[in-house]
Structure 1
Amino acid sequence: MRLTLMLPLLLMLAGCSTAPGNDTAAAPAPAGDATAEAASCAASGGELKPLGRLQRVQCVVPYADAGKTCSAKSDCTGQCLANGDTEIAAGTKATGICQTDVSQNFGCRQRIDGGVAQGTICVD
C-alpha cells in the first residue's frame, strides 16, 4: 500500500528533472538569429537590452518625442509620465514628459492623463 501511494509522487518528481539536455526553454538562440536581431534593432536606431524581472532581451528604440512636455498619452508615442522623483497626489492637475523608450514600462512610474496625475504603478 505504501508503494502505491509513493509511485504517483515519484512519477511527478521525475517530470521535474534538471538533467542536462532537458531544459530547452533556457537554450540560447542560435548565434545567427541573435546577430540578425541585433542588426535589425540597430538599423531601427535601437539597442538590445534585457528588461523586466525576466530580463527578456528586447529592442529598445528611443521615442522621437522623448522628453516633450505633455498632458495626456495622446501627446506622446509612449506614455505621458510625471517628471521627477516626487510623486504627485493622484487627481491633481499636472503636466508630464513623454517617456524615453519602452524600458520605462518597467519599474515604478506615474502617468499623466487628461492633465491629471494618475496613481503610481510598479511593473516588474
Structure 2
Amino acid sequence: MKHRIIIIGLLFSSGLLAANEPDDALQQMRADALARIDVNACLDNGGVIKPVCMNAIPACIYKYPDAGKQCSSGSECEGDCLVVGHFVAEGSAAIGQCSVDNDPCGCYQRILDGVAEYAMCTD
C-alpha cells in the first residue's frame, strides 16, 4: 500500500529562513514571534508558551477539550480529526480521534467526512 506524504517546510519555503542564515537571525525571529504573543491571554486560556517546530519558534499551545474523542470529520472536533497510529491510504474510509492541541508541527493525516486525506508533515 503506497502513501503520499507531503512535506511542508513553512519557514524555508516561505523564504523567511534560508538554510545558511546566521543564528542571530533565527534568534531575532524567535524574539519577534514571542513579542507577538499575548502571554497573559495565552495563560489565562489554559495555554503554555513553548517552542514549536524545527526552529523552536515560540507559540501559545493549548489542549483541546475534546482531545482523543472518536471522530470521522474535523467538524466534530475543536481541532482536526486525525488518523491515529499508522497512516492509511489516501481516500480510504477512516475513523480517528480529535487532535490533542493546536501545535502546528509534526506528521498527521486528517479525516474529512469519514475519508482519510493525504498524510503530511509540517515544520
* TM class by smaller structure: 0.5 to 0.7
| In 2, Cα distance between equivalents of 1:87 and 1:42 | 33
Question: Is 2:79–2:102's contact at 8 Å kept on the other side of the alignment?
Answer: yes
Q: 2:28 is aligned with what amino acid?
A: A
Q: Are the structure 2 counterparts of residues 70 and 26 from structure 1 closer, same or farther at C-alpha, using a change threshold of 3 Å?
A: closer
Output the TM-score relative to the length of structure 1.
0.67
Q: How many residues align?
A: 98
Q: Work out which structure has the larger RCO, using CA pairs closer than 8 Å and 6 or more positions apart in sequence.
A: 2
Q: 1:67 is matched with which residue?
A: 68
1:58 Cα offset (Å) = 1.0
Specify the structure having the higher radius of gyration (Cα).
1
RMSD: 2.9
Once the 2 structures are TM-superposed, how far is the Cα of residue 52 of structure 1 from its aligned partner?
1.6
Q: Which residue is equivalent to 1:8?
A: none
Query: 1:42-78 CA deviation, whole Å, 9 max, x = no partner?
Result: 2211111111233211111111111111111111111
Give the number of the structure whose residues are more often helix, by fraction: 1
Matched, 1:95 2:95: yes
Residues in 1 aligned to 2:50 and 2:106: alpha-carbon distance in whole angstroms: 15
Runs of 4+ in structure 1 displaced over 6 angstroms?
none
Determine the C-alpha separation between the residues in 1 that align with 2:73 and 2:99: 12
Task: Mark the runs of 5 or more structure 2 residues left unpaired by the alignment.
Answer: 1-21
Which amino acid counterpart does residue 60 of structure 1 have in structure 2? I
1:98 Cα deviation after fit: 0.5
